[in-house]
Amino acid sequence: NANFPTLGEKYASYGEEEKEDDKVDLAENSLLNKLIRKSLVESSHHVEVLQRDPSSPLFSVKTFEELRLKKELLQGIYAMGFNRPSKIQETALPMMLADPPQNLIAQSQSGTGKTAAFVLAMLSRVNGAEKFPQCLCLAPTYELAVQTGQVVEKMGKLCVNIRVTYAVRGNRIPRGTKIEEQIIIGTPGTVLDWCFKLRLLDVKKISVFVLDEADVMIDTQGFLDQSVRIQRALSQDCQMLLFSATFEDAVLRFAEQIIPDPNIIKLRREEMTLTNIRQYYFLCENKQDKYKALCNIYGSITVGQAIIFCQTRRNAKWLSLELTQDGHKVSVLSGELTVEQRAAVIQRFRDGKEKVLITTNVCARGIDVKQVTIVVNFKLPTNQLRCPDFETYLHRIGRTGRFGKKGLAFNMVERHNLPLLQSIEEHFKTKIKQLDPDDMDEIE
Ligand code: ADP
């Protein structure tokens, strides 16, 4: 129907404030994850291995010593506080360090030790005495490239002759310069320029090629083709490694297109579950009603820390004002903050400086909810077609089975949205119980 505005037109007529923060930027999210990560993410699953040559023995290591690394590299690893290889590293490291080199595609969720693994592989293969690029690592953004570079600097801090440079927009190097740094980390477009337009390095001399964050790469216009062009120019015996946090079909197809004869390893993520979550809803007419229900929750149970999800920035701001006026210490996460600012807000919340975190969709992932006692959906999550967004619902209130502490979830639902609630119940085969804001004794 020609009279309906398109989604774009609809947004254009909104101010920034009414914008729904629901387009999650994968690269930003990945950076946020890195900035707020303090330790390894565990998984109770086994590493799945698909070997290029199934008859060759499969090694896995329980210690870093078994890898027979250069002394200064081993010391660098211990100086970072790593005691033993992470689960994915146990299998990935021996494969990556084998001679002759093997190609590898590895998938595991962020925080499981992929970056540390390929940085170790690069540092271990590089010859510090030779002054030309030997390792090339592609990353989706400048910021992510820098994060990886910092790991190289840290782990390699005792490898005195080894140096890193960044092939990113803004790092202008005159044509004709010969790069001496052995490790180059960069975004595909600039790397392409450095290799073929400016001829700052000889691609044929690269012995380790890493494509990091493949799922973010293919989400970015042009990066897939550019990566393929770089890869095609590599020498036959260059080792090729690809990493991804997720493994949808498109990522796997890209991975298999770009990495010849790979070993493939996967570590499944810990599944989220609603099993230990008691879920409730309040029937509300408007946001004042919702606010009243929220106050009743605070009036009737002891809340440690809470996360409240709003749909728009305006609602998030409004709610934070109301709560602040009522004496709560509140912080707000929304799309207009830079990734660094978001990381700082999350850190303060983790440190308990604020007891309430109000957030829009953009920032929902990546927040560690272990210490949070209640989660409130000020509005049920829906996708752009206004259908229930089950995955987001699960991520907001679910817990991983393994760390499954009990939790409480409250949904504020307008009458016309009751069908959404029903489909969520049906989808998860779960019960969401109605609460009367004036009689909260029903919370068990
Ligand atoms: P990924 O690349 O999968 O997101 P990282 O390599 O960045 O994971 O590792 C996640 C966090 O765990 C980082 O803080 C990193 O320093 C740390 N880490 C990585 N490997 C180990 C290890 N073997 N032991 C202890 N900590 C580790």
Q: Is 115 in the pocket of ligand 1 (CB under 6 A)?
A: yes
Are the beta carbons of 107 and 266 closer than 8 angstroms?
A: yes
Between the CA of 116 and the centroid of ligand 1 the distance, in Å, is 6
Is the dihedral angle over the CA atoms 107, 109, 112, 114 positive or is it negative? positive
Task: Identify the weakest region by mean pLDDT among 70-74, 124-128, 379-383.
Answer: 379-383
Q: How far is the C-alpha of 383 from the C-alpha of 369, rounded, in Å?
A: 23
Pocket test for ligand 1, best of 87, 108, 110, 115 (most atoms within 8 A of CB): 115
Q: What is the pLDDT of residue 271?
A: 80
Average pLDDT of the segment spanning 92-109: 95
Q: What is the pLDDT of residue 145?
A: 97
Average pLDDT of the segment spanning 35-55: 86
Q: What is the pLDDT of residue 147?
A: 96
Q: Is the pLDDT of residue 2 over 60?
A: no
Q: Is 39 in the pocket of ligand 1 (CB under 6 A)?
A: yes
pLDDT band at 344 (very low <50, low <70, confident <90, very high): very high
Between the CA of 85 and the centroid of ligand 1 the distance, in Å, is 9
Q: Is the pLDDT of residue 75 over 80?
A: yes
Cis peptide before 262 (omega within 30 of 0): no
- Angle (deg, nearest 10), helices 418-428 and 390-397: 80
pLDDT band at 82 (very low <50, low <70, confident <90, very high): very high
Q: What is the pLDDT of residue 395?
A: 86
Record the pTM.
0.88
Q: Is 216 in the pocket of ligand 1 (CB under 6 A)?
A: no
For residue 345, the Cα-to-chain-centroid distance in whole angstroms is 17
Pocket test for ligand 1, best of 40, 77, 89, 247 (most atoms within 8 A of CB): 40
Task: Identify the weakest region by mean pLDDT among 138-152, 205-219, 351-365.
Answer: 351-365
* Residues in CB range of 213: below 8 A, 6 or more apart: 27, 30, 139, 140, 144, 243, 244, 245
pLDDT in tens, 385-443: 889 999 889 988 887 655 556 789 999 999 999 999 999 999 999 999 999 877 777 77
Average pLDDT of the segment spanning 223-228: 95
Vertex 30, ends 26 and 32: CA angle to 5°?
A: 115
Average pLDDT of the segment spanning 325-341: 91
Where on the phi/psi map is residue 361: left (φ > 0), alpha (ψ -120 to 50), or beta?
A: alpha
Between the CA of 312 and the centroid of ligand 1 the distance, in Å, is 34
Q: Is 89 in the pocket of ligand 1 (CB under 6 A)?
A: yes
Q: What is the pLDDT of residue 368?
A: 64
Residue corresponding to tokens 């790979």: 262
Q: Is the pLDDT of residue 57 over 50?
A: yes
Q: Which CA distances in Å does 394 have to 274, 391, 414?
A: 7, 5, 20
Atom of ligand 1 nearest to the CA of 83: 24
Q: What is the pLDDT of residue 389?
A: 92
Are the beta carbons of 265 and 92 closer than 8 angstroms?
A: yes
Q: Which helix (H) or strand (E) holds 330?
A: strand 330-333
Are the beta carbons of 338 and 34 closer than 8 angstroms?
A: no
Between the CA of 38 and the centroid of ligand 1 the distance, in Å, is 9
Average pLDDT of the segment spanning 340-364: 86
Q: Is 85 in the pocket of ligand 1 (CB under 6 A)?
A: yes
Task: Identify the weakest region by mean pLDDT among 37-41, 236-240, 344-348.
Answer: 37-41
Q: Is the pLDDT of residue 245 over 70?
A: yes
Q: Is the pLDDT of residue 6 over 50?
A: no
